[in-house]
Structure 1
Amino acid sequence: MEKNSLLQELPESSWPRERLVRDGERHLSDQELLAIVLRNGSRQQNVMDLAATILRTYPTLYDLKHTTLQELQQFKGIGSTKAIELKAMMEFGCRINRSLQQKLGKIQSSFTLGQLLIDELKDQPQEHLITFFLNTKNEIILQKTIFIGSLNQSIAHPREIFREAVKISAAKVALGHNHPSGNPTPSQNDLDFTERVRLCGEMMGIELLDHIIVGEIKYFSLREEKYLK
């Protein structure tokens, strides 16, 4: 946002962009968010005052959404370019609100997940740890390779898994990794890492559904083999 002289009369800590960086977008008022989109005001009023004027004219965001380009340009400080940007921003917000979280299939069983992982990882020369992030219905909302390398204490850490899980509001996670040797029997490092993930998930209310290790043609499910209960 260009800071005109009128806005600079305000303390820097109250500038909308600085507040968003410091406090996050959810802590900003409608006036502050609109001011960020507007970027600057006019010679007569700073951008915060311009945002306030617009919101007084349209007391609900629903009313503002239905303004025309011509109506927006009645405000001093809003020309055709800025009016177009505002209308585009409002439409984009509506489309985001209508969008649904993507689903990448549903985990029906350890067997189906094991077969999927065999197909994906059997030819990898290094260990790859894949995490499936799930909703409450076991639908996959994200699949992500978290680590490449052996699951020892110095490389693998549950924080990478749960940082992503919290960000997308996952209810459950399932892990899968390969053994390039072709033998899917878990190592002690595999078991230790699984337990760390399970305990971290338990504290955060995110269930570890399974950890599947795959070889060339077989898989080993820690859930099926009772390592996970």
Structure 2
Amino acid sequence: MSLSVKEYHEELQPRERCKKYGAENLTHQELLAIILRTGSKNQNVLELSNQVLTNFDSLFELKVASIEELVKIEGIGEVKAVELQAVIEFGKRLALSYREKLGVIVSSSELGKRLIEEMKDYQQEHLLVLYLNTKNEVLKKQTVFIGSLNQSVAHPREIFRIAVKCAAARVIVVHNHPSGNPNPSKQDIAFTHRLVECGKLIGIDVLDHLIIGENSYISMKETDII
């Protein structure tokens, strides 16, 4: 099926290619064109980005270029020069960034005792999920559902959507019983089994499901429910 003139034109645009194929598949020229946004009086944006790149022998030289050097390039005014420097500096800071870890899970027992203090006085059920890497370091801790006093109906889809987004390898699910009694209900057990099966399908381990009561907890791993 052939493309219309308009579709062909859009297909060639860096922004459209970025949306369709991802930024990692664009050339230096196309990425720079997206940053510059517009061309100059005599050049379209792709031509301008190519001129900027050919003005320097390497990307490193562009990275350390001063505003004075940038504005010497035809079509690059002070505004574009400042924007380029800002993008380059932000890229440097991103390269130095790292994912914050929120501690390491040593055991269900240690986690259960810690979460009793945090969750024992909740008047509604809260479903909390800890997202872990392969070293059991906590990448994210998030409450994904707050339910009624006696039931939690969170869908596994939401739990695993967040897991995929933060590239978690494992999850630990925790919820409280406002009654103070941590014994799992039939619904709790069925929900846990469903989570485990869903996790197997997408390659994310459900390590445990803890139920927090007033002064105690139940681990479905420790009690061989999972």
Q: Secondary structure in 1 aligned to 2:207? A: strand
Structure 1 residue aligned with 2:208: 210
Matches within 5 A, 1:160-171: 160-171=158-169
Q: CA deviation at 1:208?
A: 0.9
1:94 and 2:95 equivalent?
Answer: no
Q: Secondary structure in 2 aligned to 1:33? A: helix
Q: How many residues align?
A: 217
Matches within 5 A, 1:1-229: 11-149=9-147, 150-152=151-153, 156-228=154-226
| Alignment gaps of 5+ in structure 2 | 1-5
> What residue identity is the alignment partner of 1:112?
E
> What residue identity is the alignment partner of 2:66?
T
Deviation sequence 1:164-219 (CA, Å, 0-9, x none): 11111111111101011111111111111111211121122211111100011110
Q: CA RMSD in A?
A: 1.7
> What residue identity is the alignment partner of 1:188?
K
**105 and 49 in structure 1: CA distance in 2 versus 1, 3 angstrom threshold:** same
CA contact (8 A) 1:151 1:193 kept: no
> What residue identity is the alignment partner of 1:29?
T
> What residue identity is the alignment partner of 1:151?
S
Report the more deviating stretch, 66-75 or 215-224. Answer: 66-75
Q: Distance in 2 between matches of 1:17 and 1:192?
A: 46
Q: Distance in 1 between matches of 2:91 and 2:221?
A: 42
**202 and 59 in structure 1: CA distance in 2 versus 1, 3 angstrom threshold:** farther
Q: CA deviation at 1:59?
A: 4.9
Q: Distance in 2 between matches of 1:85 and 1:23?
A: 25
**46 and 129 in structure 1: CA distance in 2 versus 1, 3 angstrom threshold:** same
> What residue identity is the alignment partner of 2:223?
E
Q: CA deviation at 1:70?
A: 1.3
Q: Secondary structure in 2 aligned to 1:120? A: helix
Deviation sequence 1:111-151 (CA, Å, 0-9, x none): 12112221221111111111101111111011011111133
> What residue identity is the alignment partner of 1:125?
Q
User: What's the % identity of the aligned pairs?
Assistant: 50
Q: Distance in 2 between matches of 1:59 and 1:123?
A: 64
Deviation sequence 1:69-114 (CA, Å, 0-9, x none): 1111122221112111111111111111111100111101101211
CA contact (8 A) 1:16 1:33 kept: yes
Structure 1 residue aligned with 2:3: none
Q: Secondary structure in 2 aligned to 1:11? A: helix
**What TM-score do you get using the length of structure 2 for normalisation?**
0.89
Q: Secondary structure in 2 aligned to 1:131? A: strand
